[in-house]
Amino acid sequence: MEKNYRAELTGVFGDPVDGNPTGVMEEAAYRECGLNYRYLTLRVKKGDLAAALSGARAVGMKGFNLTMPHKIDVIPYLDRLTPAAALIGAVNTVVEEDGRWIGENTDGKGFVRSLEMEGISLKGACVTLLGAGGAARAIGVECALAGAEKLTVINRSRERGEELAELISRETPAKAEFCLWTPSVKIPPETQILVQATCVGLHPHGDQKPDIDYETITDRMTACDVVFHPVFPLFLQEARRRGAGTVTGIGMLVQQGALNFELWTGREAPVETMYRTLEAEFGASQQPEKAL
Ligand code: NDP
């Protein structure tokens, strides 16, 4: 058979995008599997999305990720949304299938898979979510679809928090309620899985942590953080000090990257390689204890 030099293109469109590490792990996965795929990290400004998408069509991209500020704006350009992406109302992954573009959201699914990797089940669980932004929305919806019984959404702005709680109660079998975030807010004692889904503590603000009453975190809870840089933020350190289990944002990042890989290539993702690549990128191995 003649040699084929043509590369399949994938990538991410966003602004800012310079600090987005997804390409490092996707390219490592492509190399590991011997696939002639590339992942391009592309800065696309808000007003340039339409032009970038028409370029993506012209060069026949296999699929791509969207990050800020394009996760909602991309929707009118897609042929179909998966049911979860439609519920969440945002798309972070597009997959090309026979010339049609399908919009998916792998953020929340990646989170659920990161819990499964730790042997944590969501069936019948009480989940407390700190935040109601894009990441929290995807996580809340997917936790509810994965069998969580009750979700408490704690958020600073009432409107966003109430909307998420109402969406979950209306569209999924789970019960959800909203709690306004006041200084030193208490974590409900029935919480089994506590998710820090705000951007507080994200590099270069690694010296900050969410303003909650840390004494209300117990050793019956598992604390999870969406922030992955630093790998083990102050929030997780405080939770571990109270005996809680911990799951880092790297787990979610790797698992959503693995889902993207599977959607674009049809192959099983080399998850271990993807973990190790990001671990090296963020110096996770320098953590004193298990951090993934
Ligand atoms: P959004 O801007 O959509 O939402 C931010 C949320 O944080 C809002 O709920 C906001 O509350 C809340 N918030 C911000 N500052 C504070 C504060 N000082 N105290 C309390 N709440 C605060 O951001 P995203 O949801 O898109 O991203 C959130 C984080 O998730 C980022 O750090 C991002 O890097 C991370 N992320 C990680 C992924 C992973 O794979 N690990 C994937 C996707 C995102 P309010 O509504 O009141 O403004």
Atom number, ligand 1, closest to the C-alpha of residue 256: 40
123-179 confidence digits (pLDDT tens): 999 999 999 999 999 999 999 999 999 999 999 999 999 999 999 999 999 999 999
Sign of the Cα torsion 111, 117, 122, 127 reads negative
Q: What are phi and psi of 123, to 5 degrees?
A: -60, 115
278 lines ligand 1 (CB under 6 A): no
Q: What percent of the chain has pLDDT over 90?
A: 92
Give the tokens for residue 199: 């951007």
25 lines ligand 1 (CB under 6 A): no
Report which secondary-structure segment, H or E, holds 11: strand 8-14
Q: In this structure, which residue's CA is closest to atom 7 in ligand 1?
A: 198
286, pLDDT greater than 50: no
14 lines ligand 1 (CB under 6 A): no
Mean pLDDT of the chain: 95
| Mean pLDDT, residues 83-109 taken together | 96
pLDDT confidence band for 81 (50 / 70 / 90): very high
Atom number, ligand 1, closest to the C-alpha of residue 250: 41
50-74 confidence digits (pLDDT tens): 999 999 999 999 999 999 999 999 9
Place of tokens 């109302």: 89
Place of tokens 């117990």: 218
Q: Mark whether 175 is an active-site residue.
A: no
69 lines ligand 1 (CB under 6 A): no
Distance of CA 69 to the CA centre of its chain: 15
Atom number, ligand 1, closest to the C-alpha of residue 136: 25
Cα dist from 96 to 61, 169, 184, 203, whole Å:
7, 32, 46, 33
180 lines ligand 1 (CB under 6 A): no
Considering 45, 46, 62, 71, which one is annotated as catalytic?
71
pLDDT of residue 290: 42
Q: What are phi and psi of 18, to 5 degrees?
A: -55, -35
The alpha-carbon radius of gyration of the chain (Å, integer) is 19
pLDDT of residue 3: 85
Alpha helices by DSSP H, listed for 13-133, are 22-32, 49-58, 83-88, 107-117
pLDDT confidence band for 33 (50 / 70 / 90): very high
| Mean pLDDT, residues 226-252 taken together | 95
Distance from residue 135's CA to the centre of ligand 1 (Å): 6
Distance from residue 133's CA to the centre of ligand 1 (Å): 5
Cα dist from 216 to 127, 185, 196, 242, whole Å:
15, 9, 14, 9
292, pLDDT greater than 80: no
Q: What percent of the chain has pLDDT over 70?
A: 97
9, pLDDT greater than 60: yes
Mutation choice for ligand 1 from 24, 128, 156, CB with most ligand atoms inside 8 A: 156
